[in-house]
A = this chain, B = another copy of it.
């Protein structure tokens, strides 16, 4: 072990932000302040890896480094001057002690080997990527892809955190799911702010799964809205969804903690997603506009982006079906059947 990693309690952490989209830039506004605020804990400069593109003939990295604004993904909000855009991934991640992943997870497989080569010994990661991946064996946690791809530990940061509201400095909360209290404390110093309260939950799997499973419940909430159901029914669907989220986590993962579901990643993010959000919206239109396909909704409402909720609903359904547990998950089962098997949307309220 190098002297560097022995020094983990006192060394200054060099931070690299992998990603520069809407959410990455919103969080950059917070962490850029915090690395300056805690100079004994962090190197002030944060490298932000930016996928280079031309905006009106000018490089995006150049715009960020000169004008301190990501005009494409978070226009109107200044980035701190110590956020330095770097187009080369290896250069950006070189010597990093803390890696923040905040980009579509499809990019990870290609990027992780490059990152692995250049990071500091003793480095650790945190994933801000919401959603989960799937392979032929079922659910794959994004944090596990990072853990395996880089060979380091990975915490997660999830909560009711709509990016533009965070950028605007509206008060909100977030949950840091980690296995290691020390890493948790360092990351809490990096992310916590007066308007962005970070709670630590020693339950990284629970925190990450909440971020994915809430999207399934939001599909159910959207069906409710599409049917014009009132507050009683929608509240019942959200509550049943929370119960099934819990049950699913306990059944298929280890180390889940009850308290996680009371954190921002649990009940708060669930509420936000079931009242706002794209999954709820598309599910509402799916019911109102009979016969419309999810593919059409993705094209027309989401400009071709994939809907996480339906994708997750399908995978969750296969897992609970394969383990003969359908009867324990009546809501998840019904959401799947309405979404993919032509079941009457009204069955959402006939559980």
Residues on A lying within 8 angstroms of B by beta carbon are: 160-162, 165-166, 170-173, 194-195, 197, 229-236, 238-240, 242-243, 246, 258, 261-264, 267-269, 271-272, 275-276, 349-351
Contact = CB atoms under 8 A, between A and B. Distances in A.
A9 to B, nearest CB: 30
A229 B262 contact: no
Given A238-B271, A239-B262, A275-B275, A232 B172 contact: yes
Q: Do most interface residues of chain A lie in helix, strand or loop, or is the interface mixed? A: helix
Nearest to A264: B239
B171 A235 contact: no
Contacts of A235: 160, 172, 264, 268-269, 271-272
Given A160-B239, A165-B230, A239-B262, 19 more contacts: A162-B230, A162-B232, A165-B231, A165-B232, A170-B230, A170-B349, A172-B232, A172-B235, A172-B236, A173-B239, A231-B271, A231-B272, A232-B272, A235-B264, A235-B269, A238-B268, A239-B267, A246-B262, A275-B275
Contact of A232 (B166, B233, B240): B166
Contacts of A349: 170-171, 195
A53 B276 CA distance: 46
Task: Give how many copies assemble into the complex.
Answer: 2
A276 B261 CA distance: 23
Contacts of A272: 231-232, 234-235
A276 B242 CA distance: 20
Contact of A350 (B171, B173, B233): B171
17 contacts: A161-B232, A162-B231, A162-B232, A165-B230, A165-B233, A166-B232, A170-B229, A171-B236, A171-B350, A172-B236, A173-B239, A197-B236, A235-B272, A239-B264, A239-B271, A243-B262, A261-B262
A276 B351 CA distance: 24
Contacts of A350: 171, 194
B258 A239 contact: no
Contacts of A351: 171, 197
